[in-house]
């Protein structure tokens, strides 16, 4: 206790020096947190987009479907399958879909499309498809009305109320053909989707493809996405793994995930460089502090203080200064992170256009999660402890006679 009091008084004896050291630690944690928060926020933003715009967190398919997305790799879907999945812990929503390639034809124009048969209500709960309707109305559970993406509709010269002819290959090679009234147009920011999507309700699609009771995928969203691995394992134990594949979104979207990984790796390198710079900054101030106080150390040791005790007090001082810097750094970073988490930064100009063309909302939210704050606080603490080695060594090597003459 007395040591703590001594250390406390020591650091306020020279306020200027203390403030400078604390300021360099403040900067270390502040910059690291903001940069990291930007990186993580961006990563989560992209994850949400992938999960919410299409895949869901987990999908169940017939084994081999993901590698070969063919109608013949569809699976039977009925209430008992749905019941098993729904009864699994942590499962939130499920969306059954039947998707396959078909040819669409209107007037003189013909174009390949991706035909998605889905449950209108469940689909909307996952991907908010009805919010993307720009003309006409959303899909209905009954009836054979279809939604056509805007890019495709403009290519075909199609309006709501027109009838689209669809041709294709159904289950087991049966030829599929049908005429469907267009009840609505949907717009997707990504041109790839906007130029090829046709939605109809699941029953109509099963009829068209002659695939009664069959679906190609069952998308599942989770209540707690952090427990995705446990839920995946649960599902695997309940569903015959020899017949079905149960995939996480990151197993399906390998290309997106790897791209994110490259970006994260790059971000970590930049953080490492940043830490190195501020680490040297802290180290520099500590060295100067030690040099300035060599004479003082000499005096204290010569009047009888044990070197080990002096070293302890010095480490305590460093901890106090370190904590001052850390606490103020974290305290100033959190409001900023919180603000931009709630009000994401809007990316503007040509860059925003590029994001939209990839189907990404041009927003940059910051992340605020306890785990990365803790990691960075620990890293800074480690840096501070490492810098303590220098003054402690100096104290133990101190030659009183020389120090007094400094």
Chain contacts with other proteins (rule: CB under 8 A): 16-17, 20, 23-24, 27, 31, 35, 68, 70, 101, 103, 108-112, 154-155, 169, 192, 196, 254-262, 266, 269-270, 272-274, 276-278, 280-281, 283-285, 287-288, 291-292, 350-351, 353-354, 357-358
Provide the 10 A C-beta neighbour count for residue 259: 12
Q: Which is nearer to other proteins, 44 or 70 (CB)?
A: 70
| Residue 290 CB-density burial (10 A; 0-12 exposed, 13-18 middle, 19+ buried) | middle
Quick one: tokens of 166?
């669809």
CB of 15 to other proteins, least distance (A): 11
Q: Which is nearer to other proteins, 79 or 255 (CB)?
A: 255
CB of 224 to other proteins, least distance (A): 27
d(C-alpha 306, C-alpha 313), whole Å: 11
CB of 31 to other proteins, least distance (A): 6
Q: Which is nearer to other proteins, 100 or 138 (CB)?
A: 100
CB of 329 to other proteins, least distance (A): 12
CB of 362 to other proteins, least distance (A): 11
CB of 343 to other proteins, least distance (A): 20
CB of 230 to other proteins, least distance (A): 26
CB of 235 to other proteins, least distance (A): 26
Q: Which is nearer to other proteins, 43 or 155 (CB)?
A: 155
Q: Which is nearer to other proteins, 138 or 209 (CB)?
A: 209
CA dihedral 305, 306, 308, 310 (to 10 degrees): 10
d(C-alpha 151, C-alpha 114), whole Å: 13
Q: Which helix (H) or strand (E) holds 249?
A: helix 249-252
22 CA to centre of own chain: 33
DSSP string of 269-281?
A: HHHHHHHHHHHHH
Q: Which is nearer to other proteins, 152 or 222 (CB)?
A: 152
d(C-alpha 355, C-alpha 191), whole Å: 11
Q: Which is nearer to other proteins, 88 or 285 (CB)?
A: 285
DSSP code at position 52? I
Give the residues across from 99 on adjacent strands: 116
Under DSSP, is residue 94 helix (H, G, I), strand (E, B) or coil? strand
Q: How far is CA 8 from CA 12, 16, 24, 61, 185, in A?
A: 7, 15, 19, 64, 70
d(C-alpha 214, C-alpha 174), whole Å: 15
Q: Which is nearer to other proteins, 134 or 288 (CB)?
A: 288
CB of 132 to other proteins, least distance (A): 21
Regarding beta strands 214-215 and 75-76, do their DSSP bridges make them parallel or antiparallel, or are they unpaired? antiparallel
Q: Which is nearer to other proteins, 2 or 399 (CB)?
A: 399
Q: Which is nearer to other proteins, 88 or 217 (CB)?
A: 217
d(C-alpha 330, C-alpha 344), whole Å: 20
Q: Are the C-beta atoms of residues 184 and 160 closer than 8 Å to each other?
A: yes
CB of 130 to other proteins, least distance (A): 27
């Amino acid at each position: 206790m007395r040591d703590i009091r001594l250390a406390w008084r020591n650091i306020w004896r020279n306020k200027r020096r203390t403030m400078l050291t604390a300021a360099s630690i403040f900067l270390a944690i502040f910059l690291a947190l903001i940069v990291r928060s930007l990186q993580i926020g961006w990563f989560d933003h992209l994850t949400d987009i992938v999960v919410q715009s299409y895949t869901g967190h987990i999908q169940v398919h017939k084994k081999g479907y993901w590698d070969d997305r063919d109608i013949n790799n569809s699976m039977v879907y009925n209430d008992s399958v749905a019941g098993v999945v729904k009864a699994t812990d942590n499962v939130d929503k499920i969306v059954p879909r039947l998707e396959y390639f078909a040819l669409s034809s209107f007037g003189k124009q013909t174009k390949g499309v991706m035909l998605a048969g889905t449950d209108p209500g469940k689909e909307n709960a996952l991907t908010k498809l009805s919010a993307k309707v720009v003309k006409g109305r959303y899909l209905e559970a009954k009836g054979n009305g279809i939604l056509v993406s805007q890019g495709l509709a403009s290519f075909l010269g199609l309006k709501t109320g027109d009838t689209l002819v669809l041709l294709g290959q159904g289950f087991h090679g049966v030829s599929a053909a049908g005429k469907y009234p267009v009840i609505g147009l949907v717009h997707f920011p990504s041109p790839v989707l906007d130029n090829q999507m046709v939605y109809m309700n699941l029953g109509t699609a099963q009829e068209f493809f002659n695939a009664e009771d069959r679906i190609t995928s069952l998308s599942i969203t989770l209540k707690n996405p952090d427990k995705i691995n446990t839920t995946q394992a649960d599902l695997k134990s309940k569903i015959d793994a020899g017949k079905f594949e149960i995939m996480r979104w990151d197993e399906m979207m390998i290309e997106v995930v790897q791209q994110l990984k490259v970006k994260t790796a790059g971000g970590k390198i930049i953080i490492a460089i940043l830490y190195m710079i501020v680490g040297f900054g802290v180290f520099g101030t500590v060295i100067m502090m030690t040099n300035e106080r060599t004479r003082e150390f000499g005096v204290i040791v010569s009047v009888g203080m044990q070197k080990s005790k002096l070293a302890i007090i010095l480490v305590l001082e460093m901890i106090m200064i370190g904590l001052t810097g850390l606490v103020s750094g974290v305290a100033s970073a959190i409001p900023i992170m919180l603000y931009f988490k709630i009000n994401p930064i809007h990316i503007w100009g040509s860059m925003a256009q590029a994001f939209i063309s990839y189907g990404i909302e041009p927003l940059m939210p910051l992340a605020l999660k306890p785990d990365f704050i803790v990691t960075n606080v620990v890293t800074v603490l480690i840096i501070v402890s490492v810098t303590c080695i220098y003054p402690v060594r100096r104290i133990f090597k101190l030659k009183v006679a020389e120090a007094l003459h400094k």
